Chains A and B, each alone.
Chain A
Amino acid sequence: MKEERFDIVIIGGGHNGTTTAAYLAKCGLSVCVLEERPECGGCQETVEPMAGVKIQPHAIANYGGSAPGWEQLELWKYGFRMDWNPNKEIPFPVERNFLTSEGMSPMTQKDVEGYMKITCMDVSDDAFKDLMRATFWCPPHPVGTELDENNIPYMQVYKEHHPEMWTRELMEMTMFDLMDEYLDTEPMKVNAAWIAAVSGAHGHMEGVAIPALCSVATVGPPAVAKPVAARGNIHGQFHALFRCAVAHGAVFRTCCPVEEIIIDDGRAIGVRLRDDAVRPAKKIWANKAVISATHIKPTYLDLVGPQHLDTGFMQRIKDLSLKGGSLYMTHFLTKEELRFKPQYRANLPKDIEDYYGSFISPFFPMDSRDIYFENVKVLFGEQQNMTYPPERAIYGMVTGQLYDETNPQCTRPGMHINGPLWMIMPTPQYNKDGEDAMCKDEFDRKKWDEYMRQSVACVAENLDDDNLIRIFSDSPLDQQMRNTGVLGGSWYGIRCDRDQWWNERPLPEMARYRSPIEGLYNAHQSSAHPGGLCLMAVGYNLMHILIEDGIAEPGDWWYPSKWYIPEEGKISAIPK
């Protein structure tokens, strides 16, 4: 059998595997990334299923504006450009209107001031950036560290900038609690809580108020002028990251599914590829580390396997919760641009309407948290397909109009693409009616596509049969079939509740990215803090640990997180 050898073998060429590869290749290590699909990118994908029609099946927006990766990896050198003209100002005010069943609900002065305060935007852009970095771009503290308001990173930002918010209670709150204290209108709170829900930490979860808040704030000003991704969409953003890794010598192998992590005497020493992998060498050895950037469940349950792990550990891996991140994605191809019903036509400032158009990205219905909790009850409590009507299913939607005219989403004459719309669905694995309860046949697909259409038709006056040409959708199960890294179609791997967040993610003993197998590290959104959102955070955080373990030796370009605590007896990631 032919064999190959690298310093580092990474399983999975999605966002986190590729970020990790870029960092490690930049350290001068030989890196091989193994990707199962014909194309790298994972959830950072853009597809043109019909000539001239681009869709976003997964990730959409650039959440990572505050990432150290921009400076450290110098992505501009590899062609990174946002979807906007570099020479022109982008109209994107903090003030917004929220869509309820009754019509528009504008933000009040208290909403604006409260939001700016809790995100530290009122202090300075740097304070905001610090809050984001403290939340996402810092590895969890060493296992066993007693956590309190004096060492939890985001608490240090409040301590410095808003000492009155620096209370133990802040660490225990739900995001709703926080918003009830500082914000005014219910629709704004429901909107933020729901965006947090699709981003990892839900608005009603105990003890994750700030992570939930930051997962909303990170995708808006001042980090990024409007919530879209790169030129070329989210896959364009991936391209810069990927090309950075390639330029530093990382080797990417597509159509190379991994079947086994080879373990010798308790140490991960390489991987074995499936027989149909497009390589003559089916064993790839790792001199220094094997890094799993695919889902934690198959990593330990299948690739490592029970022969190397105890049953108690296996059970805890099985129990990690996939709930909450399973989204049904829908794009609507229409003849005319969609138009809001009269009650949703906000009096948009002229510059906004000129720049974007009039149908900008609805989130609906934001009436009150009753609707939010009705969704929670059915999807997470009863664990079944939606039993409420489409007008009570919360969704968010990006419209083609949000993109720059020089980055057109539809170049098919006489047609417009609207989407994605994303809606939380029951996670297939937990659906009481079975994994395929949502998509047993073509009839089911049509039924749920129609459900999505009716949801949008609550706010759009012209999404009717005459206007609608075609719907492109993918259910959570479709997403899992297309991309085995998104088990359950979950957008953040496992949810970011307090038992699966930061020093508990994915399990307390693995929070520093190390695993029970020496030489095997975790770098997937499901297995690593801070989870999903394509933040370039897992790779950055993992760097601290690989420096500690003597694997990575970065150059002058490296700087660690301000709040990082070195592990005793290891090499510190803080440069001398």
Chain B
Amino acid sequence: MAKKELVGKKHPQAFFPEFPPESEWDVVVIGAGPNGLITAAYLAKAGLKVALVERRYEIGGGLATEEILWPGYYSNIHAIYHMMVEYMPVLQDFDLERHGLVWIKPNQQTAMLYSDGTSLSLCRMIDDTMDSIHKVSQRDAIQFGRVMRTWRRIVDEIVAPATYIPPMPPIDITMAMQKTEIGEAMLELTEHSPLEIINNTFENEKLRALLLYASCMWGLDPQETGVGFFVPLLLVRGMNKCYCQGGSHKLGNSLAREFVQAGGTILDASQVNEIIMEGGKAKGVELWEGRTLHADAVVSTLDPHTTFLDLVGGDKLPGDLKGSIEGWTYDKWSFNTLHVATNEAPNYASDHQWVNETFMNIIGFDNTDQVLKHWENVVSGKLDLNNIGGHCTTETFWDSHLARKPGHVAFFQMHAPYNIDGGWQASGEEVKEAMLATWQKAAPNMTKENIIISEMESPEDIEIRMPNMRFGSIKHGDYKPVQLGCFRPNQECSSTNTPIEGLYVGGASVYPGGLILGGPGYLAANKVVEDLGGKKWWSPTKDMEKYVKTYLE
């Protein structure tokens, strides 16, 4: 249907035209986070008339690089470790380099720093990793190399490409995987919990602690079976993280420019109050500011509660969708992050000179028990300030542009409960002191004299800044078997279309999930373009094609 042209309208009390109160679109995308930006960019380039609506004053969602160390220092306040750069279709389908996007992938990826001054490193180059493990166990070093041969193939050939293909029921996955040896190896892993996989494979306690942290830090339950294939994914990709120079927001900005150049319109600082329903179909959105956008399709990238219960309305939901949405559970933990601007970069006391250059330094833990204990505390709403740990990054090591010169920015992030005993308002200062003490133990120059400004972002702060990261859920919902794969967010919606005609979902609460995978947004774009028409100008990546050919045909 031909849409009316956008014509500016003057407020009676002003000289200049503004965006009109009523407008017509093919598609309205709600939320300009990574997924919303991806969906919008694909669809606009497919020739559809697309409006992208964002509540915040700035686009990007979790791709946020902001001057929270006021005044003069920028920090990556959410996403910083980009694990899927080589696989994301969006980075192959769009030429974002022309907007100045530069990825940095340091060899020294992740290290754990132990209280005895030793360290273990996970490097992009496997043999550097094995060299490091040799310090503690020859058996584990050799074992690591062997295991990684298989795990890298599981990721490269199966898990990574499958991220960008609509989800399948577990039974179908099982049948597909039985076609190859690597598929069988993946199935075998899936049946075990992360803790079992790591403990069965490696003997050294320091290494086990490092691998457990690295594979479960994004929200896997260490004891949960049925999610084992995430262990190779998060370890292999965790050893291939990229940093976006200039800050993660640059990825968001580059996508936004592609969208705008393709004719799309961004409305930021605009909260959607309602998804307009007509005859059981989604027909547009109403904005709090008093504007209405009519559309043939609405794509929501928000959390399930906001999309279905708040914007559509629980009473308008068909069948048992309402119950399923109400049963959705949020991340079991959130992050508490201490951002600092310093005169000197953190200088870690360690047996290895490369440690200061490490992308992610894990501090505060010596063994798996301490890691598990911290996580248990967090899940039950507590922090034992004598046993905390987390991971640290010095952003200015690669990115001088973030800091007022001379100076550095760095952060120490740890898992933390949203509902902390006593509330964050009351416990914030005490937690901050404990984090500083832990950090200083690992990096002795992190003294008060060295720190110019410090700012703590608690789980509550995450929710205040980004309300659809409810309860500080950076992934919009827990990673547990009933909320993963074709169950994310539920069986009816996991392929991005929903039981409501014209309404699509494409945020982190949808398969394949959060963490800047670029999956849900890509899958939603595919679905909408199939349903609405429009020119599907892109085709699957080579990895995806190979996976489909091997396993799905």
Name A's B-contacting residues (CB within 8 A). Answer: 36-39, 46-52, 54-55, 57, 65-67, 70-71, 74-82, 84-90, 92, 125, 129, 221-225, 230-233, 235-236, 239, 243, 246-247, 249, 251-256, 276, 278-279, 404, 406-407, 411-413, 472, 474, 478-479, 481-482
Contacts and interface: CB of A to CB of B under 8 A. Distances in A.
B57 A255 contact: no
Contacts, number: 198
Contact of A412 (B58, B289, B464): B464
A236 B70 contact: no
Contact of B20 (A76, A225, A407): A76
A254 B16 contact: no
Interface in B246-276: 246-247, 249-250, 253, 257, 260-261, 263, 265-271
Contact of A87 (B6, B21, B66): B21
A225 B11 contact: yes
B100 A49 contact: no
A276 B403 CA distance: 13
B190 to A, nearest CB: 38
B14 A224 contact: yes
A54 to B, nearest CB: 7
Contacts of B70: 47, 49, 55, 472, 474
A37 B66 CA distance: 12
Closest 7 CB pairs of A and B: A232-B269, A76-B8, A225-B13, A51-B461, A70-B16, A49-B70, A52-B464
Contacts of A88: 290
A86 B57 contact: no
B19 A79 contact: yes
Contacts of B270: 81, 231
Nearest to B262: A247
Contacts of A82: 11, 14, 18
B21 A86 contact: yes
B19 A80 contact: yes
B100 A278 contact: yes
28 contacts: A38-B402, A52-B464, A54-B57, A66-B15, A71-B16, A71-B17, A77-B6, A79-B268, A80-B19, A81-B267, A88-B290, A90-B11, A222-B13, A223-B15, A232-B268, A233-B269, A236-B57, A239-B266, A247-B263, A249-B261, A254-B401, A256-B100, A276-B401, A279-B100, A412-B464, A481-B72, A481-B404, A482-B67
Contacts of A404: 289
Nearest to A243: B260
B230 to A, nearest CB: 30
Contacts of A70: 8, 15-17
A255 B246 contact: yes
Given A39-B249, A51-B462, A278-B245, A224 B15 contact: yes
A221 B464 contact: no
B84 to A, nearest CB: 21
A88 B20 CA distance: 13
A553 B228 CA distance: 63
B12 interface: yes
Nearest to A473: B71
Contacts of A239: 266, 268
Contacts of B12: 89
Classify chain B's interface size.
35 or more
A203 to B, nearest CB: 25
Given A87-B290, A236-B57, A246-B257, 12 more contacts: A49-B69, A50-B68, A76-B19, A77-B8, A129-B15, A246-B260, A247-B260, A252-B100, A253-B100, A256-B100, A278-B401, A474-B71
Given A86-B9, A222-B13, A278-B102, A49 B67 contact: yes
B74 interface: yes
Interface string B4-40: 0011110111111111110000000000000000000
A48 B304 CA distance: 26
Contacts of A231: 268-270, 289
Given A279-B100, A482-B404, A243 B269 contact: no
B455 interface: yes
B316 interface: no
Which of A57, A79, A221: most chain B CB closer than 10 A?
A79
Contacts of A225: 11, 13-14
Given A74-B8, A86-B9, A86-B291, A57 B269 contact: no
A52 B465 contact: yes
B401 A37 contact: yes
Given A79-B266, A86-B291, A482-B71, A232 B261 contact: no
B65 interface: yes
Contacts of A39: 65, 249
Nearest to A92: B13
Given A86-B11, A236-B269, A65 B16 contact: yes
Contacts of B288: 406
B469 to A, nearest CB: 11
A183 to B, nearest CB: 24
A542 to B, nearest CB: 20
A344 to B, nearest CB: 26
Nearest to B289: A406
Interface string B453-473: 001010011101100000000
A48 B55 CA distance: 14
A85 B464 contact: no
Contact of A84 (B11, B66, B250): B11
Contacts of B400: 276
A235 B58 contact: yes
A125 B12 CA distance: 12
Contacts of A66: 15
Nearest to A68: B16
Contact of A406 (B58, B98, B99, B290): B290
Contacts of B18: 76, 80-82, 86
B57 A57 contact: no
Nearest to A479: B71
B72 A85 contact: no
Nearest to B73: A482
A134 to B, nearest CB: 15
A90 B13 contact: yes
A543 B73 CA distance: 36
Contacts of B465: 48, 51-52
Nearest to B7: A76
A16 B249 CA distance: 23
A294 B114 CA distance: 49
A255 B100 contact: yes
Contacts of B102: 278-279
A406 B464 contact: no
B247 A38 contact: yes
B268 A236 contact: yes
Contacts of B65: 38-39
Interface string B179-222: 00000000000000000000000000000000000000000000
Contact of B74 (A38, A89, A236, A407): A38
B394 to A, nearest CB: 16
Contacts of B464: 51-52, 411-413
B13 A89 contact: yes
A129 B247 CA distance: 42
Nearest to A232: B269
A254 B66 contact: no
A407 B269 contact: yes
A221 B461 contact: no
A57 B67 CA distance: 11
Contacts of B100: 252-256, 278-279
A149 B98 CA distance: 51
Nearest to A225: B13
Contacts of A79: 19, 265-268
A503 B236 CA distance: 64
Interface string B236-249: 00000000011101
Given A38-B402, A79-B267, A46 B57 contact: yes
A81 B268 CA distance: 10
Contacts of A230: 269
Given A46-B57, A252-B257, A85 B265 contact: no
